[in-house]
Amino acid sequence: MSRRLVDLARDLGIDPENRAYVPYGHDFAKIDTVAAGEGSAHGNLVVVSAVTPTPLGEGKTVTSISLGMGLSRIGEPALACLRQPSLGPVFGAKGGGAGGGKAQVVPADRINLGGTGDGQAVGAAHNLLAAMLDAHLRHGNPLKVDPARIAFSRVTPVNDGSLRKVITGLGGPLNGVPRESFFEINEASEVMAILALARDRGDLRKRLGNIVLGPDQGGAPVRAEQLGAAGAMSVLLRDALYPTLARTSEGTPVLLHAGPFANIAHGNSSLIATRWALTRSPWVVTECGFGSDLGLEKFVHIKARLGNLRPACVVVVCTVRALKVHAGLAKAVLGKPLDQAVLTEDVSAVEKGAANLRHHLRIATNFGPPVVVALNRFPTDTDAEIAVVEGIAREFGAGFAVHTGFADGGAGAEDLARAVVKAARPTDLRYQYEGTGPLAARLESLAKNVYGATGIELAPAARTRLAQLEKWGLGELQLCVAKTHLATTHDPADGGLPKPFVLPVRDILVRAGAGFATVLTGELTTLPALGARPNAVDMDLDPATGAAIGL
């Protein structure tokens, strides 16, 4: 039976009667990390990444959860730091982000539907700033903001592609100043990135004030602080600043906090949660979004660089089915059964698709920490196919383990846990681009050293933005590249096999509060749209029990 949340809190050195423990019903509690105290870090940080996923996902969250449970089962107490799931994929196509099978954070329905409300707080804070900006324009615009060049969006929690480009302020002077605007999904919000990177209340407040809304009519940046908005935004985020304590299906502790997507944001749970967890648990497992070219790269260059983190191990999740899809054997499509060819033994297809695994092992090993390949095993995987994956792991000097966490929970991840303990060694990271210097040069280093590109190509809009950043003294922001998660290149149609390519940069978004510049590549959007039959169609509420159906 799952242990009580108050018992997990005590294991982490928190007295539930202390103000550091803020209960949200029976299933969650906020941990005020300031009141709890941080102490000195002594835990081993395990960072879970993956190969290029198919649209179905390859079980990275399942692996992270089952690894945490597996470590605890072999006598190595662990705490997982995960992102708060997004409502976009929950109601869209991919589904929730609380794990699955016997490796879940529970109750999964409440977690997938917003948990303690952090996502709603992020959206409210973001949209408050947008509303205050438009009110400023309507009431005379004393800051002389240029309405035609405002670069700050509004956000929505769901996939509503019709809001990507909008015109606001129609209907006369009482309704505002007409102007072009745009929406992004909550997880692409700069406020979400700030929540994930802030160190404390003071840092949160400072970062919110540094948000750049766009230029004034003289070309100088206008910031949220000048509007007087940052204080009220920080009030809205007061509770959201602290991580949520939850538990897995086997009763091991989990901290849920922040939820930036890795293909359009920086793809990692909060720095506050991770740093605090390392002071309370011998093992801390944290998950990066999508493949090592996205979530892991941003973990290293943004989160770890800012937080001075030293990972002890990187886990690269792989599936046989993903390698077969990358080999071109068949396509994986959300909402449709897998092609029978993917479910039939084909060693040669695995060997061909393994070029993708090699690509990600090159990326992961170049960052420095020891690497373990975790094969998330499906029932149709054969020993011969698994042997191919193990051979490639050994080729790179990486550890290897098969896990069946979805079917068997922590018991199915004990071998993986032992492989991680054997490999772990806190290691200084090898960054693949400099933290300072001209942004374009650093971006080219990232494209070549991580993505394997031959270079970059800047569109006119990107060149204009670079010049603007230099003029504003922001040319040394860190990089956060928005790139498809479905290919090793910028184009999802290219698939998972590495190939020579030039990375096209169509624009750069200023995220001065977060401390990075978002680099837009390809045709990637920061607001997904719903498909013809989204998951929401199959959801309902049981009138007898009040339970959610179809999540």
Report the pLDDT value the prediction gives residue 337, as an integer from 0 to 100. Answer: 85
Provide the 3-class DSSP secondary structure of residue 216: strand
Classify strands 212-215 and 516-521 as parallel, antiparallel or unpaired.
unpaired
59 is in an annotated binding site: yes
Report the pLDDT value the prediction gives residue 523, as an integer from 0 to 100. Answer: 86
pLDDT digits (tens, 9 = 90+) for 202-216: 999 999 999 999 999
pTM of the model: 0.95
CB-CB contact of 475 with 466 (8 Å): yes
Report the pLDDT value the prediction gives residue 93, as an integer from 0 to 100. Answer: 86
Positions of E strands within 310-394:
313-318, 371-376
100 is in an annotated binding site: no
61 is in an annotated binding site: yes
58 is in an annotated binding site: yes
Would you report the helix, strand and coil content of the chain in percent, each value rounded to 5?
40, 20, 40
C-alpha torsion sign, points 88, 91, 95, 96: positive
57 is in an annotated binding site: yes
d(CA 99, CA 64): 9
d(CA 44, CA 247): 20
Tell me the pLDDT band of 3, cut-offs 50, 70 and 90: confident
Report the pLDDT value the prediction gives residue 338, as an integer from 0 to 100. Answer: 87
Partnered with residue 145 across adjacent β-strands are: 216
3-state helix/strand/coil string of 250-261: CCCEEEECCCCC
Q: Give helix 118-138 / helix 190-197 axis angle, nearest 10°.
A: 130
Residue of 429, 361, 419, 421 lying closest to 395 (CA atoms): 361
Classify strands 283-287 and 44-50 as parallel, antiparallel or unpaired.
parallel
489 is in an annotated binding site: no
Report the pLDDT value the prediction gives residue 306, as an integer from 0 to 100. Answer: 95
pLDDT digits (tens, 9 = 90+) for 44-79: 999 999 999 999 999 999 999 999 999 999 999 999
Dihedral over alpha carbons 264, 373, 371, 287 (to 10 degrees): 40
253 is in an annotated binding site: no
CB-CB contact of 511 with 260 (8 Å): no
Report the pLDDT value the prediction gives residue 1, as an integer from 0 to 100. Answer: 42
Q: What's the token pair of residue 292?
A: 């090592």
Residue of 213, 94, 42, 80 lying closest to 144 (CA atoms): 213
Positions of E strands within 32-161:
44-50, 78-82, 99-100, 103-106, 154-156
Q: Give helix 60-73 / helix 414-423 axis angle, nearest 10°.
A: 80
Average pLDDT of the residues of the chain: 95
Q: Is 337 exposed, middle or buried (0-12, 13-18, 19+ CB in 10 A)?
A: exposed
d(CA 119, CA 87): 9
Tell me the pLDDT band of 37, cut-offs 50, 70 and 90: confident
Contacts of residue 236, defined as CB under 8 A and 6 or more positions apart, other chains included, come to 121, 124, 125, 128
Question: Cα 147–153–158 angle (5° rounding)?
Answer: 150
CB-CB contact of 216 with 145 (8 Å): yes
CB-CB contact of 282 with 43 (8 Å): yes
pLDDT digits (tens, 9 = 90+) for 178-201: 999 999 999 999 999 999 999 999
Amino acid occupying residue 160: D
pLDDT digits (tens, 9 = 90+) for 396-414: 999 999 999 999 999 999 9
Q: Is the pLDDT of residue 126 over 70?
A: yes
